[in-house]
């Protein structure tokens, strides 16, 4: 039997795909953003929700891949496939190096170290001007040419392109968290000492989760660079990392549909609010505080509690 | 000339470290007593700077700006702790999201009140100018920062180590439950420490306004420095915060002078090294 969540997830993706042609340009743009950011939020949830590791530097891997795409397309005119492979590989490598340092620490130390490591990447993006163009960012990232009959510079084909990426990431991550490895991660979240007593290599499980989460964040970063056409230090800053945490917390940690939903809600909220008022940071700040006070288990968690 | 370069840079690094000490010692103490990772700590620094600026515009008095900025932000800190943070207990993710929520709100309010232009805090004549020793030139203001941080550091150390309240705070850091069991009012201690942390951060913000300036984005720019200090020194340790801030001040300054494009790298690579050898920081306990 197919689990209900899979049906619901596929249903949501199919619905988005069906509605998309009827949407005007602006909501379609937001939907594309949501699809890409959903990948980032899901990848963070592998760490936060499934393994119990709150990372404050997740934008680093997203940003490394986005910068790789920016530099490779603008300076070297590389193809989509090259950019995808190099972007994800660099993000994975960064996570593999950072993970060696971060996984040694637990709890608050983990949080602070991931924050500091995330700031290293931000610092490079900001200061390594000869490579990253600093605060100005890298502009003019072209949309990819895949040899398809539809040009990806049009909003609708690009939306389908991004949605395909989301579904692929969701399917892969879904397989991962349901695999024996994924079960091991959830066991570590519940009780590290017990898993260790059972003979699990706790460090290796956490480390691999960290690297895999980084790889998928990089996957999201590749599409983000193509979508935006622009890469800047904003993509790797602390606020981006924290916003991703908020999406996971809002949607419901420990599920994949939750973070995707959280990402969609935040993307739409952010953009709609900023249309009506300049004070959207105030409102976003209030949302952070409200989520923690009133829905600590996230939207899906609140729903689950009610139906249980 | 080479010797002059090293002496000047060391002096600059130490004085920057002294400023970081004001910011990070509060963060470290707050964590020690309450296990709260306060991401709004950089906002206290920024708000302190802005409020100090407003005070000095109205009154023209630098000491009043110091006290006004620090006290106002201490009150904000007390409000945050009593009304919001106390409800959360020790759930880390909740603390992170709530304190970052406050940081965003403070950032936007500061933008609303003081606008987006960068400001510099006007210095009193006694503290401006430079002290010339041979061919070396030391800005008076930086000497003042070093002296003030030394006085505050010594005061904090004496208060923590030699007084009854200090003993109560240390007891609460070591084991809050046992401390409560022997009759120490841990919630009151927590509030006091939170207020002290906010006070020191804001004091740092006013002082920093004299040479870093005050501008939007300073809050999130300075926050990682405070975190690195605390990571290097060890959470909840005052000597750790002292050594950590001087070390970070020096590393940052030499990094920026010698490798401008890789400045952050020269700051974080030693941090990584220290962590690899001592995961709880130089003075941290497990």
pLDDT tens, A165-196?
A: 999 999 999 999 999 999 989 988 888 889 88
Residue B257 lies in a domain: no
Domain ranges of chain A: 4-307
Closest CA to A266 of A253, A248, A282: A248
Q: Is the pLDDT of residue B70 over 90?
A: yes
Q: Do B279 and A105 touch (CB under 8 A)?
A: yes
Q: Which of A195-199, A285-289, A297-301, B204-208 has the lowest mean pLDDT?
A: A297-301
For tokens 């009780």, the residue is A191
Q: What is the mean pLDDT of residues B95-118?
A: 91
Residue B4 lies in a domain: no
Q: Give the domain extent around B42.
A: 15-123+136-215
Structure tokens at A68: 């790789």
Q: How many CB atoms lie within 10 A of CB A52?
A: 22
Q: What is the DSSP letter of A229?
A: S
Residue B169: φ, ψ to 5°: -65, -45
Closest CA to A73 of A225, A224, A218, A214: A225
Residue B210: φ, ψ to 5°: -80, -25
What is the number of structural domains in chain B? Answer: 1
Length of chain B: 286
A contacts of B240 (beta carbons < 8 Å) = none
- At residue A307, the pLDDT reads 46
Q: For the whole model, what pTM was predicted?
A: 0.87
Q: Is the pLDDT of residue B19 over 90?
A: yes
Structure tokens at A223: 């599409």
H or E segment to which residue B87 belongs:
none
A305 contact B CB<8A: no
Q: Do B87 and A293 touch (CB under 8 A)?
A: yes
Q: How many CB atoms lie within 10 A of CB B229?
A: 29
3-state secondary structure of B141: helix
A contacts of B96 (beta carbons < 8 Å) = 54, 56, 111, 242, 245
Task: List residues bridging with A139 in a β-sheet.
Answer: A230
Q: What is the DSSP letter of A48?
A: I
Asked if B42 contacts B185 with a C-beta cutoff of 8 angstroms, the reply is no
| SS3 sequence of B270-284 | HHHHHHHHCCCCCCC
Residue B23 lies in a domain: yes
Q: Is the pLDDT of residue B116 over 50?
A: yes
B contacts of A119 (beta carbons < 8 Å) = 224, 264, 268
Nearest to A54 among B93, B109, B279 (CB): B93
Residue B200 lies in a domain: yes
**Looking at CA atoms only, how far is residue B265 from chain A in angstroms?**
6
Residue B165 lies in a domain: yes
Domain A4-307: which CATH class? mainly alpha
Q: Do A292 and B103 touch (CB under 8 A)?
A: no
Q: Do B264 and A115 touch (CB under 8 A)?
A: no
- The 3-state DSSP composition of chain A as helix, strand, coil percent (nearest 5) reads 80, 0, 20
């Amino acid at each position: 039997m197919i689990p209900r969540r899979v049906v619901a997830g596929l249903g949501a993706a199919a619905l988005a795909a069906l509605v998309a042609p009827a949407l005007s340009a602006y909501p379609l743009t937001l939907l594309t953003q949501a699809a890409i950011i959903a990948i980032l939020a899901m990848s963070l949830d592998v760490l936060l929700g499934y393994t119990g590791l709150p990372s404050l530097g997740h934008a680093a891997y997203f940003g490394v891949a986005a910068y790789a795409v920016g530099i490779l397309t603008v300076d070297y005119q590389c193809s989509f496939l090259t950019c995808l492979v190099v972007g994800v590989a660099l993000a994975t490598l960064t996570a593999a190096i950072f993970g060696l340092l971060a996984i040694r620490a637990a709890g608050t130390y983990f949080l602070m170290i991931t924050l500091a490591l995330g700031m290293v990447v931000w610092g490079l993006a900001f200061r390594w001007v000869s490579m990253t163009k600093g605060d100005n960012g890298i502009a003019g990232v072209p949309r990819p040419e895949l040899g398809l009959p539809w040009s990806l510079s049009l909003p609708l084909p690009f939306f389908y392109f991004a949605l395909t990426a989301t579904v692929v990431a969701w399917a892969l991550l879904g397989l991962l968290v349901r695999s024996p490895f994924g079960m091991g991660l959830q066991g570590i979240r519940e009780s590290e000492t017990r898993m260790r007593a059972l003979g699990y290599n706790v460090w290796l499980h956490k480390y691999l989760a960290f690297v895999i989460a980084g790889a998928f964040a990089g996957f999201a970063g590749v599409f983000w660079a193509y979508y935006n056409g622009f890469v800047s230090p904003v993509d790797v800053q602390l606020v981006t990392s924290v916003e991703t945490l908020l999406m996971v917390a809002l949607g419901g940690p420990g599920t994949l549909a939750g973070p995707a939903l959280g990402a969609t809600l935040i993307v739409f909220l952010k953009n709609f609010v900023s249309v009506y008022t300049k004070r959207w940071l105030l409102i976003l700040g209030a949302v952070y505080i409200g989520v923690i006070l009133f829905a600590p288990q996230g939207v899906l968690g609140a729903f689950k509690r009610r139906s249980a | 000339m080479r010797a002059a370069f090293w002496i000047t840079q060391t002096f600059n690094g130490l004085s920057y470290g002294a400023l970081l000490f004001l910011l990070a010692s509060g963060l470290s103490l707050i964590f020690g007593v309450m296990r709260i990772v306060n991401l709004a700590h950089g906002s206290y620094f920024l708000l302190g700077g802005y409020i100090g600026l407003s005070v000095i515009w109205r009154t023209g008095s630098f000491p009043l700006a110091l006290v006004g900025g620090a006290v106002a932000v201490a009150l904000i800190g007390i409000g945050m702790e009593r009304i919001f943070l106390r409800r959360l207990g020790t759930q880390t993710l909740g603390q992170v999201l709530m304190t970052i929520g406050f940081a965003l709100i403070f950032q936007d309010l500061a933008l609303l009140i003081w606008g987006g232009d960068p400001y510099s805090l006007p210095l009193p004549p006694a503290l401006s100018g430079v002290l010339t020793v041979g061919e070396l030139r030391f800005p008076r203001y930086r000497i003042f920062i070093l002296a003030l941080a030394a006085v505050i550091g010594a005061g904090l150390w004496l208060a923590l180590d030699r007084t009854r309240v200090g003993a109560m705070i240390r007891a609460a850091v070591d084991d809050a439950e046992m401390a409560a069991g022997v009759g120490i009012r841990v919630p009151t201690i927590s509030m006091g420490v939170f207020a002290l942390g906010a006070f020191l951060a804001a004091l740092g913000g006013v002082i920093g306004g004299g040479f870093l300036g005050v501008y939007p984005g300073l809050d999130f720019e300075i926050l990682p420095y405070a975190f690195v200090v605390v990571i290097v020194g060890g959470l909840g340790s005052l000597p750790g915060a002292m050594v950590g801030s001087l070390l970070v001040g020096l590393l940052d300054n030499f990094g920026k002078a010698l490798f401008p494009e890789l400045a952050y790298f020269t700051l974080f690579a030693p941090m990584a090294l220290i962590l690899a050898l001592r995961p709880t920081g130089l003075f941290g306990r497990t």
